[in-house]
Amino acid sequence: MNKEKRQLVYKKYDGHCAYCGKKIDYKDMQVDHITPLCRYSGNKNTADRIENLNPACRRCNHYKRAWTLEVFRDLMLTIHKRILKIYICKVAKDYGVIEIEPWDGKFYFEKIGSTGR
């Protein structure tokens, strides 16, 4: 990806991860294909349109992997239940070290508007 397109992706949400909303440095930004590359047959140029690219922090990009946005959303909607199955998390919750709340189902880019700022 050329530098110009990478900068456009970074500016899309004012230097924030499109998914969790965390501020990310340009050098640490990963570019996520909203609709994964594996969903495109043959024409990579279509997949690399700016409309299909989002800035992502390393954790969100890694966790989303090659999932569609809706599969990623479903994973995030159930993450609190999966976390609470981990014994050490149960202990931490009992002691008030952590609070586990369900996610509201909206990615950062949806909360601020899908076209960015």
CATH number of the domain within which 84 lies: 1.10.30
pLDDT given for residue 117 in this prediction = 47
Residue 45: C-alpha distances to residues 7, 42, 49, 80, 102 (Å): 18, 9, 7, 37, 37
Nearest CA-CA partner of 56 in 75, 71, 69, 74: 69
pLDDT given for residue 51 in this prediction = 94
pLDDT given for residue 45 in this prediction = 78
CB atoms within 10 A of CB 96: 7
pTM of the model: 0.89
pLDDT given for residue 115 in this prediction = 53
93's CB contacts (< 8 A; 6+ apart) are 84, 99, 100
pLDDT given for residue 113 in this prediction = 81
pLDDT per residue, tens digit, the chain (117 aa), is: 899 999 999 999 999 999 999 999 999 999 999 999 888 876 777 889 999 999 999 999 999 999 999 999 999 999 999 999 999 999 999 999 999 999 999 999 999 985 554
The number of distinct structural domains making up the chain is: 1
Give me 78's structure tokens. Answer: 């159930």
Q: Is 48 part of a structural domain of the chain?
A: yes
CA distance 35 to 82: 25
The enclosing H or E element of 85 equals: none
Q: Is 86 part of a structural domain of the chain?
A: yes
Q: Is 68 part of a structural domain of the chain?
A: yes
